[in-house]
Amino acid sequence: MKKLIAVCGVFAALLLTGCAQNKKPYDYSAFRASKPASILVLPADNRAPDINASHSFTSLVTQPLAEAGYYVFPVAVVEETFQQNGLSNGHEIQAVSTKRLHDIFNADSALYISITDYGSSYLVVDSVTTVSATARLVDLRSGKELWQGMATANDSENSNNSNGGIIGMLVSAAIKQIASNAGDKAHTIAGVTSARLLAQNEHGGLLAGPRYKAPVTR
């Protein structure tokens, strides 16, 4: 019994030690070696039911990428170029070889986006609009992956529906659902997700590009 207690104690200590360890720093070695200056944003691979998800999300990524210091190829022009060549589906476009993409656009890198959630879901006591996405940055000159990340956002992150009882929660959920249907709330939430996904930082986010200008503090 004493041996069993001792083994359990060691196991518990290992678990606590593992929990206490800091998250492993992101490996930016390939990113730093590549030094991309331009990014080709490919139409998103939409895995959500809403057919508008790809256009909505892709239209929102230029700003955070530009603010991070990169030249971003105009997404509308890129999409039109693919359509002129018979490609309109994000999944098919992302299957084009990196060499071919580099030959056509002469971009340093390409951003591959996958949308996993986009839209509103009606729960018993709430209506939640969620947008989730993953992204990969790939060097088009070498084909190497430089970075990957994921992010999600929803409109209930800071809400508190506990006041007013069950009737109040149901009414609130119904109002949110009507508002989501009347406007494109998912597009607004997608802007938050995009900003989180493509945030410029050295803690798992994008590294600063050559045109990055640090905010002026007063």
**pLDDT tens sequence across 158-177:** 665 444 444 444 444 444 45
Q: Which of 69, 33, 46, 56 is nearest to 198 (CA)?
A: 69
Residue position matching structure tokens 């790939």: 138
pLDDT per residue over 97-116, tens digit each? 999 999 999 999 999 999 99
Average pLDDT (2-7) is 43
- Structural domain boundaries in the chain: 26-197
149 phi and psi, to 5 degrees? -160, 175
Average pLDDT, the chain: 82
How would residue 123 be classed by pLDDT, with cut points 50, 70 and 90?
Answer: low
pLDDT score for 23: 60
Average pLDDT (139-145) is 97
* 16 dihedral zone (left: phi>0; alpha: psi -120 to 50; beta): alpha
Q: Which amino acid is at 169?
A: M
Q: Is the pLDDT of residue 203 over 60?
A: yes
Q: Which of 70, 80, 152, 56 is nearest to 111 (CA)?
A: 70
Distant-in-sequence, close-in-space partners of 53: CB < 8 Å, separation ≥ 6: 44, 46, 115, 118, 119, 131, 186, 190
Looking at the structure, give the CATH architecture of the domain made up of residues 26-197. 3-Layer(aba) Sandwich (3.40)
How would residue 185 be classed by pLDDT, with cut points 50, 70 and 90?
Answer: confident
DSSP 200: B
Number of other CB atoms surrounding residue 83 within 10 Å: 12
- Could you give the CA distance from residue 154 to residue 173 in angstroms, rounded to a whole number? 14
